[in-house]
């Protein structure tokens, strides 16, 4: 089944508008920042090894292991830009690597509440037909979170999708944390139907490495040809 390609002009106008929005909010929030918010201009990163790369309730490695790496440059206490990469694998596809060029703008309301505006330009190698962008709003209130994300090209359908999610983290077993994401995906494509998903992880950090064990569930698993089957996931992450 083939899908009509979106016009190049529309894609360029969307990216220009999103960049202008992020830049405007950054300038506005920087002007209102506290006088003691001194830019750090430092780099940080993260690397994770996992038995399965699951996002939005879907495996992006056909149930195989994945290695993630991210590098961020902090322009100040509110704004950062960076690169995120991972191996990927899809049935009947030549895509083997995903690179995200990302920007985060964090607006802090109090010690326990903040809003992060997130944008990523996603590039697959190859084919380029999977390329797209994601614009998201993440609101955090104490250990609760609300997410809204707009995807321009979901699973190579050339159609968009909207993700709504609620997150919650509980303290468990003294040094353990139980992290949960409850989400709902609204499809822009007539080929796929909307679905609920749940991702849950139990993790601890005895040293420099953060270990997690988790699983995922997708209410519309039958339409994804095995990519949404329930799975057990092990993760090991380190920040630097």
Rounded to two decimals, the pTM is 0.83
| 125 domain-assigned | yes
Question: Rounded distance, CA 57 to CA 192, Å?
Answer: 14
Domain around 165: 8-239
| 133 domain-assigned | yes
Q: Domain total for the chain?
A: 1
Helix (H/G/I), strand (E/B), else coil: 221: helix
| 2 domain-assigned | no
For residue 160, the surrounding DSSP H or E stretch is: none
| 3 domain-assigned | no
| 111 domain-assigned | yes
| 1 domain-assigned | no
pLDDT in tens, the chain (240 residues): 434 444 444 445 455 555 555 554 444 444 444 434 556 688 999 999 999 999 999 999 999 999 999 999 999 889 999 999 999 999 888 899 999 999 999 999 999 999 999 999 999 998 889 999 999 999 999 999 999 999 999 999 999 999 999 999 999 988 999 999 999 999 999 999 999 999 999 999 999 999 999 999 999 999 999 999 999 999 999 999
Question: Rounded distance, CA 236 to CA 154, Å?
Answer: 27
Q: What is the CATH number of the domain that holds 216?
A: 2.40.160.40
pLDDT at position 2, please?
Answer: 38
Alpha helices in the chain (DSSP H): 8-31
| 61 domain-assigned | yes
| 185 domain-assigned | yes
Which of 96, 95, 102 lies closest to 156, judged by CA? 95
Helix (H/G/I), strand (E/B), else coil: 145: strand
């Amino acid at each position: 089944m083939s899908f009509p390609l979106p016009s190049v002009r529309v894609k360029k106008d969307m990216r220009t508008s999103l960049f202008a929005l992020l830049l405007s909010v950054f300038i506005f929030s920087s002007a209102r920042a506290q006088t003691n918010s001194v830019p750090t201009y430092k780099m940080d990163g993260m690397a994770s090894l996992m038995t399965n790369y699951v996002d939005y309730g879907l495996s992006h490695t056909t149930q195989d292991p994945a290695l993630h790496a991210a590098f961020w440059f902090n322009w100040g206490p509110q704004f950062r830009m960076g690169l995120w990469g991972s191996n990927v694998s899809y049935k009947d596809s030549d895509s083997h690597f995903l690179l995200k060029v990302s920007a985060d703008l964090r607006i802090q309301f109090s010690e326990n509440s903040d809003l992060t505006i997130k944008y990523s330009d996603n590039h697959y190698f190859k084919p380029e037909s999977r390329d797209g962008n994601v614009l998201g709003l993440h609101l955090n209130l104490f250990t609760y979170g609300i997410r809204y994300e707009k995807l321009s090209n979901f699973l190579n359908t050339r159609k968009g999708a909207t993700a709504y999610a609620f997150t919650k983290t509980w303290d468990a077993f003294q040094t353990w944390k139980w992290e949960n994401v409850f989400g709902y995906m609204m499809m822009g494509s007539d080929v796929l139907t909307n679905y609920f998903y749940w991702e849950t992880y139990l993790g601890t950090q005895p040293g420099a490495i953060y270990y997690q064990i988790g699983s995922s569930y997708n209410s519309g698993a039958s339409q994804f040809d095995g990519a949404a089957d329930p799975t057990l996931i092990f993760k090991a992450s380190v920040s630097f």
